[in-house]
Amino acid sequence: MLMLGSGDYGTRIKTRKRNIAAPLDPSTFADAVVQIYLDNAGDLELIAKSIESSDLNFSRYGDTFFEARDTEETLRGHACPNLDTPWTQRHSDKSKMKGKTSGRTQPGTTKPDEGERHPFSIIDCEPKREAILPSSLELFEENERKKLAIFTALAFSQKLSGLPLDTVFQPLLKDNLVAKGIVLSFITDFFKEYLIDNSLDDLISFLKRGKMEDNLLDFFPSSKRSVEAFSEHFTKAGLVPLVEYHEKKIFEVKLKEMKSALTTQIAEETDISEVKDTVKQHVKDAKLPDIEVVRILWDVIMDAVQWSGKNQQQNANAALRQVKMWANLLNTFCTSGKLELELLYKVQVQCYEDAKLMKLFPDIVRALYDQDVLAEDTILYWFRKGTNPKGRQAFVKSMERFVKWLEEAEEEE
C-alpha cells in the first residue's frame, strides 16, 4: 500500500500483524469433526476421546460442532455405518449445498433411490440455534432422536461443548414439540445417559446452569404437568433419585409458601379463624404432614415477637403474650400426643439455641399447659423419657418444681 505525500513518493505503511484476524472457517472445522466420526466408525466412546484430544477450536466453532452433531447423517452415517450414507456428496460438490441439501444437514431420506429429500434444511434456516434444533428434533424418527439425546449427553458429560446451557434447553421448549411428548422423550434419554457417568448432584448443577432446575415440569405436555405425572414418568424410566429430588424440592417450596403467608398474617394479627383457614388450605393443596405444620406454626409465632434488646423481663413478657395470643391456633393443629411432644421438642431446641430464651423454657411450657396446648401426660413423658439432648439437663432441672406439682395433682386425681 502506497501513500503520496509532499516530497515523499514511496512511504510504505506496514500492517501490524496483531491486527490481522484469522478468518472464520466453519466448513473446514465441520469437515474435521466429520472425519473423526468416519475414522472411528461410529463408536461414540472413541469419537469422544478423539475429539477431546484434538486441537479443534470448540470455543470458536461451538455452533458449527452442534450443527454437525444435530443432523441425521451424523446419527445414521456413523452410529449406523451400514446405512451407506453419501457423505462424499458434500465433499465432491460443495457448490450444490445451497440448492440441494447435502446428507449432513438433511434429516430426510439419504439415498437417491429413496425419492425426494425432505424440504427441511439446516442450511436454509436462520443461523440461530432455536431455529435449528426444535425443527430437527421433530423431523427425526424416535430411534434417531434417542441417538441424538445420547450423543448430546456424552458431549456435555465429557465437557466437549463450550456452549451456554440455556442455548440447549430453552430452544427445546416449543409448544408443538412439548405437546407431542417429543421433548420429554428426548430429555429422558438425555438424563439417563448423563447419569451413567455423573452423579445426581452433577445433573442438578447442570440444570441450574441451564436455568431449568426449577422448571422441570416444562418438559411435560400441559395435560401431564403435575408432580404425580413427573414421579410416574421418571420412576418408570428408572430415574428414582431424580423423582425423590424433585418431590423434596416441591415440598420445600410448599413449606416456604405456607410460612410466608402465615408470617404476614401473624405479624398483622389477622383474625385467628382466617389464619386457621390459610393453614388448612395449604395442608390440603400441598399434602403437608402434621409435624411440619406444627413446626412452622411455632416458628412464625415466635418470629413475630417484638424483642426488647437485653431486657430479660420485657422479652419474657413479649414471648408469653405471643404464646397466649396464638395458643388456640397451636391447639387446633396439635391433635395428638405425638404432635404435642414434637412442639415441646421445638420449644426446647429454640430455647437452647437462643440465649434470650434460655431461662424462659419453664414459663413457656407452663403457658402452653395453661392454654391446653400441651397435656399433662406429654410434659411428664418429656421429663422422664425425652430423647432430644439439646439443653435437656438444664431444662429438666428448671422443670422439677412444675413437674412435681403435676405429679402431686395426678396422685390426688
Distances (CA, A) of 106 to 215, 234, 288: 32, 32, 52
Please state, in angstroms and rounded to a whole number, the distance separating the CA atoms of residues 336 and 338. 5
- Indicate if 146 and 284 belong to the same structural domain: no
Nearest of 6, 72, 60, 9 to residue 32 by alpha carbon:
60
pLDDT value for 210: 84
Domain-located, residue 289: yes
Indicate whether 178 and 292 sit together in one domain. no
| Residue 6 counted as domain residue | no
Rounded distance, CA 103 to CA 75, Å?
A: 11
Residue (of 116, 121, 59, 60) closest to 90 by Cα position:
121
Q: Which residues form the domain of 160? A: 26-212
For residues 170 and 295, membership in a common domain is answered with no
β-pair type (8-12, 2-5): antiparallel
Looking at the DSSP bridge assignments, the partners of residue 11 are: 3
Separation in Å, CA 404 to CA 371, 380, 401, 409: 19, 10, 5, 9
Residues 208 and 300 in one domain: no
Last residue of a domain, one of 212, 231, 248: 212
- Asked, for residue 12, whether it belongs to a domain, the answer is no
pLDDT in tens, the chain (413 residues): 434 344 443 444 444 444 444 455 677 777 777 777 777 766 667 777 777 777 777 666 665 655 555 543 444 433 333 323 333 333 333 333 333 333 333 444 343 444 444 455 555 666 765 555 545 567 677 887 888 888 888 888 877 666 666 667 777 888 888 999 999 999 999 999 999 999 999 999 989 888 888 889 999 999 999 999 999 999 999 999 999 999 999 888 889 999 999 999 999 999 999 999 999 999 988 888 999 999 999 999 999 988 777 778 888 888 899 999 999 999 999 999 999 999 999 999 999 998 888 889 999 999 999 999 999 999 999 999 988 999 999 999 999 999 999 888 766 66
> Is residue 228 included in any domain, yes or no?
no
Long-range contacts (CB closer than 8 Å, 24 or more residues apart) made by 251-257:
251/286, 251/288, 254/282, 254/285, 254/286, 254/288, 255/286, 255/288, 255/292, 255/296, 257/282, 257/286
- Asked if residue 339 and residue 191 are part of one domain, the reply reads no
Shared domain check, 305 and 174: no
CB-based burial label for 40 (10 Å; 0-12, 13-18, 19+)? middle
| Claim to verify: residue 202 and residue 295 sit in the same structural domain | no
pLDDT of residue 88: 31
Question: Do residues 319 and 305 lie in contact, with contact meaning Cβ atoms separated by under 8 Å?
Answer: yes
Task: Using alpha carbons, select from 22, 18, 19, 1 the residue that is nearest to residue 10.
Answer: 1
Sign of the Cα pseudo-torsion (286, 292, 298, 299, in order): negative
Does the residue 241 lie in any domain?
A: no
> Do 39 and 140 fall within a single domain?
yes
Kindly report the CATH number assigned to the domain that includes residue 290.
Answer: 1.25.40.180
What is d(CA 151, CA 71) in angstroms, rounded to the nearest whole number? 11
Question: Do residues 177 and 219 touch, judged by C-beta distance below 8 A?
Answer: no
Question: Is residue 284 domain-shared with residue 146, that is, in the same domain?
Answer: no
Report pLDDT for 128.
66
Domains identified in the chain, total number: 2
Looking at the structure, tell me whether residues 405 and 264 fall in a common domain: yes
Query: Residue 70: CB partners within 8 Å, gap ≥ 6?
Result: 122, 132, 133, 136, 148
**Residue 246, domain member (yes or no):** no
Residues 65 and 75: their CA atoms lie apart, in Å, by 14
CA distances from 195 to 190, 201, 260, 264 (A): 9, 10, 35, 42
Residue 129's pLDDT is what? 55
Based on the domain organization, do 57 and 199 belong to the same domain?
Answer: yes
pLDDT given for residue 355 in this prediction: 83
**Is residue 220 included in any domain, yes or no?**
no
pLDDT at residue 136 in the model: 54
Residues 6+ apart with CB under 8 A from 301: 266, 322, 323, 326, 329, 330
Q: How many CB atoms lie within 10 A of CB 99?
A: 8
Q: Which of 381, 387, 371 is nearest to 407 (CA)?
A: 381
397 assigned to some structural domain: yes
Give the CA angle between residues 322, 324, 329 to the nearest 5°.
Answer: 90
Q: Looking at the structure, tell me whether residues 206 and 266 fall in a common domain.
A: no
Q: Which of 212, 247, 269 is the last residue of a domain?
A: 212
| Long-range interactions of 13-21: CB distance < 8 A, separation 24+ | none
**pLDDT confidence of residue 312:** 80
Residues paired with 30 in a beta bridge: none
| Final residue in a domain of this structure, among 212, 227, 244 | 212
